[in-house]
Amino acid sequence: MAAWSCRFLLQRGTQLVSLRAAAESPSHLVGCIRTVKTTTWFDEHLTEDNQEYMRKTTAEEYRRQTAEKLNPLKDEPWQRHEWTEGSRRVGLVAVKLGMVPVWSKTGERHVVTMLQVQDCHVIKHLSKEEFDGHTAALVVGGKNVSPFNRSESQMEMFRNAGVPPKQKVTTFKVSDNALIKPGTPLYAAHYRPGQYVDVTAKSIGKGFQGVMKRWGFKGQPATHGQTKTHRRPGASGPGGDPAKVFKGKKMPGRMGNVYVTAHGLKIWRVNTKYNVLYVNGSIPGHKNCLLKVRDSVLPTRASTLLSPPFPTYFTEEDGNLDEDLYDDDYFIHTEPSLTLT
């Protein structure tokens, strides 16, 4: 077989890749359109040292912009309002770390999920007219990423807020008295132990699955005349007059990889040093996934909204907190459980 030598020419403007293959036979010219564009490529041919220098310079520039944006002498802070019935606070963007067990003072074992708030900032304020005409909203971003992986329109939004680029950007509906100035950092102290929250995340994708795994069907008998129908659903629709399968019938299909919300999860512990929330139960999504945390909308949990800071926790005004905040029913292992007299 003849040895082939290839030469690639890349034109970023037209996204056209030309391939010239030389062999013993006459040369051939093959043209194709490159549909996948890698955002980590640079327009210029930079060495690894130059690329590392650009990343460090950009990171220092964004740290300087953040410090200037939060300077109280530059812009006046927005007026803070008191909490009233019906107020709606902003939420947080957190990272799922994993699950650990905890115990209550009565000896009950609970499994909690650790959520870490990493580099969470308010990016933009949307008025009622800009959002949906009924409710104002705040755009929140979490977890800093490289600026070379974001579009110019997104970079403009981050520059206006004076914050580094974020990996996840989401929107929270808020009431008029819960508005926060863009560029304000958000911490795990935004919540308090004993409060209930709703967490939204994208579930783990399972691929194409049958009805037994996807919907929990019982299946059919393993023996006694059953042939090749052990895990099948059985009849899918009525006969006679309808003579059709109704819409919404549970059937095999793709499972997971959709946004799921877990409602009414209790916060057992808040670590203010590392910004970690200990939330009761399991939460959709894999480890290190980004998710949304907000105050629970369940009517039975509305009374717990009186204790958290409003509209959020400010370090300068609210003061420093203890490193760990615990719920009243949380058993602390470092404290003595027995008292001898």
Is the predicted pLDDT of residue 36 greater than 80, yes or no?
A: no
- State pLDDT tens for residues 12-35: 444 444 444 444 444 454 555 555
- Model confidence, pTM: 0.77
Q: What is the pLDDT of residues 158-189, one digit of tens each?
A: 888 888 889 999 999 998 888 888 888 999 99
Q: Which two tokens stand for residue 2?
A: 């003849």
What pLDDT shows up at residue 98? 94
Cα–Cα distance measured from residue 32 to residue 197, given in angstroms and rounded to the nearest whole number: 51
Render pLDDT for 88-109 as a digit per residue (tens, 0 to 9). 899 999 999 999 999 999 889 9
283 in a structural domain? yes
The band of 305, judged by pLDDT with boundaries at 50, 70 and 90, is low
Containing structural domain, residue 121:
64-79+89-205+256-326
What is the DSSP secondary structure assignment for residue 75, as one 8-state letter? Answer: S
Answer whether residue 243 is part of any domain. Answer: no
> Which region among 117-121, 128-132, 227-231, 298-302 has the lowest average model confidence (pLDDT)?
298-302
Q: 173 lies in a domain?
A: yes
- Of 82-91, 111-120, 214-223, the one with minimum mean pLDDT is 82-91
Per mean pLDDT, which range of 39-43, 306-310, 333-337 is the poorest? 39-43
Query: Does some domain include residue 299?
Result: yes
136 in a structural domain: yes
78 touches 183 (CB < 8 A): no
Residue 155 placed within a domain: yes
Q: What is the pLDDT averaged over residues 72-81?
A: 68
**CATH number, position 281:** 2.40.30.10
Q: Is residue 232 part of a domain?
A: no
Q: Which of 26-40, 133-147, 211-225, 325-339 has the highest mean pLDDT?
A: 211-225
Question: What is the number of alpha carbons within 13 Å of residue 100 lying toward its C-beta?
Answer: 12
Given this model, what pLDDT does residue 11 score?
40
Residues 248, 70: Cα–Cα separation, whole Å: 51
| Rounded CA separation 138/206 (Å) | 33
Calculate mean pLDDT across residues 140-146. 89
Cα separation, 232 vs 236, whole angstroms: 10
User: Cα separation of 204 and 4, whole Å?
Assistant: 43
Q: Is 275 exposed, middle or buried (0-12, 13-18, 19+ CB in 10 A)?
A: buried
Two tokens at 224? 């006694």
Within 13 Å, how many C-alpha atoms sit on residue 264's CB side? 6
Q: What is the mean pLDDT of the chain?
A: 82
* Rg, C-alpha atoms of the chain: 27
Least confident of 103-117, 143-157, 221-235, 266-280: 143-157
Let me know if residue 93 belongs to a domain.
Answer: yes
How many domains does the structure of the chain reveal?
A: 1
What does the alpha-carbon distance between residue 293 and residue 227 come to, in Å, rounded to a whole number?
A: 48
